[in-house]
Chains A and B, each alone.
Chain A
Amino acid sequence: MERILRINMTDRTAIYEDVPETYKERAGRWLTSSIIHDEVPATCHPLGPNNKLVFSPGIVTGTSSPTSSRISVGGKSPLTGGIKEANAGTGWARRLANLGIRALVVDGQATDGFWLVKITCDGATFEPADAWTGEKLSAVYPTVFDKHDGVETVDICSIGVAGEHKMPAAGICFNDQNGRPSRYAGRGGLGAVMGSKGLKFIVVDSKGAPGITPSNQEVFDGGRKKMAAALTEHAITKPEGALNSYGTAVLVNIINEVGGLPTNNFRYGRFDGAAKIAGEAIFEGNKERTGSTLYNHACSPGCIIRCSNTWHREDGTEHTSCIEYESAWALGANCGIDNLDQVAELNQLCNDYGLDTIEIGGTIAVAMEGGLAEFGDGERAIELLHEIGQGTPLGKMLGAGAVVTGKTLGVARVPAVKGQNMPAYEPRAIKGIGMTYAISTMGADHTSGYTIAPEILGVSGKLDPLNPDKAELARNFQYATAFIDTTGHCLFIAFAILDIASGFEGMIEECNGMLGTAWTADDVGRIGKEILDMERAFNQQAGFTPADDRLPEFMIYEKLPPHDVTWDIADSELDKVFGG
């Protein structure tokens, strides 16, 4: 019997509720967005007492389904002022699911310091956590593991100093399989929401947990096997395939080649030093420094793709994990930094201080534009990260993100939508992703739906801004993505399931096996639409209008080399995506 666990930080009580009838098929992003939509006043202050923080494992999380250990985290975002769902891959998600907890809802605010909540079979207990504040997470996690019987027994969710200071660039951190505090529900400042509750850690111990069992084992197993076969077969997701060998940073050279790698705060589409910070350089550099070939590891139990990398110092010791494509770009190319050791240090400081690498890379780049450092000055960038870690006034400005930093420094070129800095795809060169940035309920977010208009890159001739298919494609990708975020699978299964029909069927059958539903492919679109409709309704009530579904103005008047293109998708085209 799955339940909802509600924790009130004001009086430190915990109660279980049955999952209401209306939510009985919902999990992951579908459930976090439902609870935020249904229970949180859209006009509340994100750091005030009326916001809630919701955690929900996906529909198949905790089962033997491959690559499915995602945890969705939802709340009203202090960065965007709208609804937020950020997700991460971690064993923490599996433990919560196996305890039969479909959602964990954190409410209220502690006024007497920071607290650790421990969730076990027997319920939730609270203990003071002030002794662990103000420290780097890599120093803190081992001691919390020691106290709670180790990574074999528990997984830890926490905030770093950025969340303690309630900075809008603060993420929520989870440990990977080796106990590293390195897997983030990074975007949108949910770490600040957790900090505003006075919640420092959520330790989950699944000893004696009942586990979750499918409604129909046979249907579930059939689906799970199809999913595993698709992931194992596909060139991108298979063992020793692109992601397993080079990590997501394999994209650095590729996006650079197409002229879409934002460089020096979105000034250029190509970076001269791209190859130095790319997946190949990480793979070969590790080989030279450790003397062995390192394939990547799984961030969470049961993953077939295994894309999470490590980077090693000259003496062979581990420096950081994981340098994702987004992080290599944000802390590298976007700041003009081509020194992999400096990028690794910046990445590790984000992990240690509890920061979203994308927002912080974007912020440092805006700060460079505003004269706080020269582009390419990695040492100065590292100093700026320490300002954030120390919570100095300068650090707090940076920790508030790119928009606040741009405003403070008088910078007009701030590449953000709805207050959130763009990730690593230049929308002027890759216009489909620009549409996603513009219309996503999350602010500029590449994971809301990868849509890249073909005509811009010359596959099929002329741009036709009135082509209705583009709007339809943008919409359908967002629906499919919202559904995947509900299943508990990592978004990277998309490569395999869009190419291999049986993989897509497998995803639906797994869900049917778990829930006893009879969903077909039609339901993927229906559920995706339901999620997006709720999120859009929340944002509308929070004050968003179509004017917020726009890219920053400088992209309209400034040409991006090497293709010398501007953002030229009509506003009416953007509004058409959701018929707004």
Chain B
Amino acid sequence: MIEVHLYGKLRRFAEDQDVRSTSIVRVPWEEGDTVAAVVERLGIPRADLGSNLFVDGRYADFNSPVSDGARLGLFPDDMQLLYKWYYAPKQASASASGNRDSLVDDLADASASTNEAQT
């Protein structure tokens, strides 16, 4: 079983939609589950989601594996305040950093998250 915690406008996919609690949906686990697969089974449109996707409290992306018993936390696109450059490693950047210099490139590289690169 997977426990999915939904926030903001995603609460509509749960029975308990009270904003003063966590809106939780329990979904049976399937072999090879990923965030994308669970999201699809719940019928949540991709457009409603942003980069704030968490598996067991760890920053994740659509391709992240989801194991049996996992807690999945999903925030909608209009709530993604925990920003991706807080987390992302320094890596080859897909973002257009233009002519900015090394300081800005460092910061911009940090903003090219695995999430963005893989979706």
In the bound complex, residues from chain A placing their C-beta under 8 Å from that of B77 are 235
Q: Which residue of A lies closest to B103 (CB)?
A: A525
**A259 in contact with B57 (CB, 8 Å):** yes
Known interface pairs A275-B22, A525-B103. Does A242 touch B54 (Cβ–Cβ under 8 Å)? no
Evaluate whether A280 and B8 lie within 8 angstroms (CB atoms) in the complex, with A250-B79, A473-B106 already known: yes
> What are the interface flags for A486-506 relative to B under an 8 Å C-beta threshold, 1 for contact and 0 otherwise?
000000000100110100100
A499 to B104, CA, bound (A): 10
Interface set, chain B 84-115, CB cutoff 8 A to A? 85-91, 96-98, 100-104, 106-108, 110-111, 113-114
Residue from B19, B78, B89, B111 in contact with A498 in the complex, judged by beta carbons closer than 8 Å: B111
- The complex places the Cα of A278 from the Cα of B18 at a distance, in Å, of 12
Q: Evaluate contact between B22 and A235: CB separation under 8 angstroms.
A: no
Chain A residues whose C-beta falls within 8 Å of the C-beta of B19 in the assembled complex: 275, 278, 280-281, 283-284
Interchain CB contact (< 8 A) of B104 among A254, A276, A524 = A524
Q: Are A459 and B87 in contact (CB under 8 A)?
A: yes
Q: Do B75 and A254 have beta carbons less than 8 Å apart?
A: yes
Interface of A, secondary structure class, is helix
Question: Quick check: B110 and A473 within 8 Å, CB to CB?
Answer: yes
The chain A residue with its CB closest to the CB of B59 is: A457
Given A253-B7, A459-B114 in contact, is the A235-B50 Cβ separation under 8 Å?
yes
Binds B, one of A170-178, A329-337, A448-456: A448-456
Minimum CB distance partner of A461 in chain B: B89
Q: CA A43 – CA B78 in complex, angstroms?
A: 48
Known contacts A236-B81, A520-B101; is A472 also within 8 Å of B57 by CB? no
Contact B88 A275 (CB under 8 A): no
State whether B89 touches A455 (Cβ < 8 A): yes
Residues from chain A with Cβ under 8 Å of B57 in the complex: 257-259, 269-270, 429, 457, 562-563
**Any A CB within 8 A of the CB of B46:** no
Set of chain A residues within 8 Å of B82, measured between Cβ atoms: 251, 254-255, 258
**Which residues of A (267-323) have their CB < 8 Å from a CB of B?**
269-270, 275-276, 278, 280-281, 283-284
- Cβ contact within 8 Å between A242 and B79: yes
User: Which one of A25-33, A101-109, A474-482, A566-574 is at the B interface?
Assistant: A474-482
Query: Is A281 within 8 A of B20, CB to CB?
Result: yes
Within the assembled complex, what's the spacing in Å between the Cα atoms of A278 and B20?
A: 8
Chain B CB within 8 A of A201 CB: no
**Given known contacts A242-B80, A242-B81, A459-B113, is B107 in contact with A257 (CB within 8 Å)?**
no
What residues of B have a CB within 8 angstroms of the CB of A208 in the complex?
A: none
Cross-chain contact A460 with B89 (CB below 8 angstroms): yes
**CB atoms of A257 and B78 under 8 A apart:** no
Select one of A254, A457, A476 contacting B52, CB under 8 A.
A254
Give which listed residue, B89, B100, B107, contacts A454 with CB less than 8 A. Answer: B89
B62 to chain A, nearest CB (A): 14
- Contact for A258 among B22, B58, B89, B108, CB less than 8 A: B58
Give the docked Cα–Cα distance between A525 and B102 (Å): 9
Name the residue on A nearest B97 (C-beta).
Answer: A501
Q: Is residue A192 contacting chain B, with contact meaning CB distance below 8 A?
A: no
- Closest Cβ neighbor of A472 among chain B residues: B106
Cβ-defined contact, A257 with B104, below 8 A: no
From 180 to 218 in chain A, residues with beta carbon under 8 angstroms from any chain B beta carbon are none
A245 at the interface (CB under 8 A from B): yes
Contact with A along B13-33 (1 / 0, CB 8 A): 000000111100000000000
A250 to B76, CA, bound (A): 12
A contact set with B: CB distance below 8 Å: 235-236, 241-243, 245-246, 248, 250-251, 253-255, 257-259, 269-270, 275-276, 278, 280-281, 283-284, 429-430, 432, 450-452, 454-455, 457-460, 469, 472-473, 476-477, 479-480, 495, 498-499, 501, 504, 520-522, 524-525, 562-563
Give 11 new A-B contacts, CB below 8 A, not counting A455-B89, A476-B103, A499-B111.
Answer: A235-B50, A236-B83, A253-B7, A257-B75, A284-B20, A451-B86, A459-B58, A473-B90, A476-B107, A498-B111, A525-B101
In the complex, the 5 A-B pairs of residues with the closest C-beta atoms, listed nearest first: A458-B58, A257-B73, A259-B57, A452-B86, A525-B103
